[in-house]
């Protein structure tokens, strides 16, 4: 059956088929059949051939990137995505896939810029793909950054349109909230504060709240800090900056902002809550973590183990004679 040339293009660019990948349609349909039959190697060769004929074909670039990723070829996948984004920097699937690939290769801290661009440019255009990215981030941050994990789970639930996937994210969230190994202030619900007495809030405040809603936590934190610098005695700006830093898996900057919020809070209970949160976040920093050293010492003598601890590790012995109690 002939395709309507005015339907959205198969490449996911949002353009009409006629003005995007129409000239390569017969090749695309043939490669689609190969992919449907799990003939990935043949599909990859066909994509190479297609790109020799149509070097800037968006469909071919994004699908070859997906195939490279599936085959574990991250650098090749990234090269295709970045080539695609050089042609169309706002391609929704392209910016989402770039963020996923950089997250997989470089980790969260080094890929946060690509992640922010993905949510800002494409989060509402390819909602399922953006939700899947949010869930992947949450799973990576689960152990060390529970506040960030929780917020990305909330973002995934908001983005997913499929109720089954929403339920999956919700169940993970419930497990986090009931995990007694995580202090409750780090796993409980928290929302940004809005001024109750400002009929016309600053433009930066509206922008920061909007950025935080779509998952651009680092950019939102930067705007809240700018507002806090302009009004240093306003705890709302410091608190919101602290939350956004925590959601961005940046506990050091989160703790700094929350200390400031607690210091200028007019409500005693708020001050105690925010200071508690700041101190818990500080305890999660690497310098406050206890390391582990493992040594296997084949021996049938306890004194031999003690000698190893003395000679190889240099651990000091406790002065038991002066221990009270």
Q: Is the pLDDT of residue 31 over 90?
A: no
Q: Are residues 121 and 10 in the same domain?
A: yes
| Residues 83-91, mean pLDDT to the nearest whole number | 93
Greatest alpha-carbon pair distance for the chain in Å reads 91
CATH number at residue 52: 1.25.40.10
Residues 137 and 113 in one domain: no
What pLDDT does residue 321 have? 57
| pLDDT band at residue 315 using 50, 70 and 90 as cut-offs | low
- pLDDT tens digit string along 61-77? 999 999 999 889 999 99
Q: What is the pTM of this model?
A: 0.82
Q: Which domain holds residue 63?
A: 1-125
Q: Are residues 43 and 110 in the same domain?
A: yes
16: β partners: 8
Element (H, E) at 269: helix 268-283
In a domain, residue 273? The reply is yes
pLDDT band at 8 (very low <50, low <70, confident <90, very high): confident
Q: Is the pLDDT of residue 38 over 60?
A: yes
CA 30 to chain centre: 36
Q: Please tell me which residue, 16 or 248, carries the higher pLDDT value.
A: 248
Clarify whether residues 6 and 117 are in a common domain: yes
179: left (phi over 0), alpha (psi -120 to 50) or beta: beta
- Statement: residue 325 has pLDDT above 70: no
pLDDT at 313 over 90: no
The DSSP result for 173-229, as a single string, is HHHHHT-TTS-HHHHS-------SS-SS--HHHHHHHHHHHTT-HHHHHHHHHHHHH
Asked, for residue 226, whether it belongs to a domain, the answer is yes
* Residue 177 CB partners (closer than 8 Å, separation 6+): 150, 187, 188
- Which pLDDT score is estimated for 217? 97
Based on the structure, what is the number of domains in the chain? 3
């Amino acid at each position: 059956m002939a395709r309507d040339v005015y339907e959205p293009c198969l490449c996911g660019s949002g353009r009409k088929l006629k003005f995007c990948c129409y000239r390569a349609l017969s090749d695309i349909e043939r490669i689609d059949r190969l992919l449907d039959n799990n003939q990935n190697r043949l599909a990859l060769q066909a994509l190479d051939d297609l790109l020799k004929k149509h070097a800037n074909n968006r469909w071919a670039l994004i699908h070859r990137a997906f195939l490279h990723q599936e085959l574990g070829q991250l650098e090749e996948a990234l090269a295709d995505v970045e080539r695609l984004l050089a042609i169309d920097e706002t391609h929704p699937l392209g910016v989402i896939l770039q963020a996923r690939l950089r997250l997989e290769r470089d980790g969260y801290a080094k890929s946060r810029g690509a992640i922010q661009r993905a949510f800002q440019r494409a989060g509402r255009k390819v909602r399922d793909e953006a939700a899947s990215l949010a869930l992947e981030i949450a799973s990576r941050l689960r152990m060390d950054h529970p506040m960030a994990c929780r917020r990305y789970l909330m973002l995934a639930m908001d983005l997913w349109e499929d109720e089954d996937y929403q339920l999956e994210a919700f169940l993970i969230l419930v497990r986090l909230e009931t995990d007694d190994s995580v202090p409750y202030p780090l796993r409980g619900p928290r929302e940004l504060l809005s001024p109750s007495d400002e009929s016309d809030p600053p433009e930066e405040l509206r922008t920061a709240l909007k950025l935080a809603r779509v998952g651009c936590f680092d950019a939102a934190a930067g705007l809240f800090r700018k507002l806090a610098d302009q009004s240093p005695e306003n705890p709302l700006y410091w608190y919101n900056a602290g939350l956004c830093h925590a959601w961005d898996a940046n506990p050091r900057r989160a703790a700094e902002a929350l200390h400031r919020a607690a210091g200028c809070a007019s409500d005693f209970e708020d001050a105690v809550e925010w200071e508690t949160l700041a101190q818990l976040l500080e305890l999660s920093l690497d310098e406050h973590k206890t390391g582990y050293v493992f040594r296997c010492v084949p021996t049938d003598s306890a004194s031999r183990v003690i000698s190893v601890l003395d000679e190889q590790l240099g651990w000091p012995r406790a002065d038991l004679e002066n221990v009270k109690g």
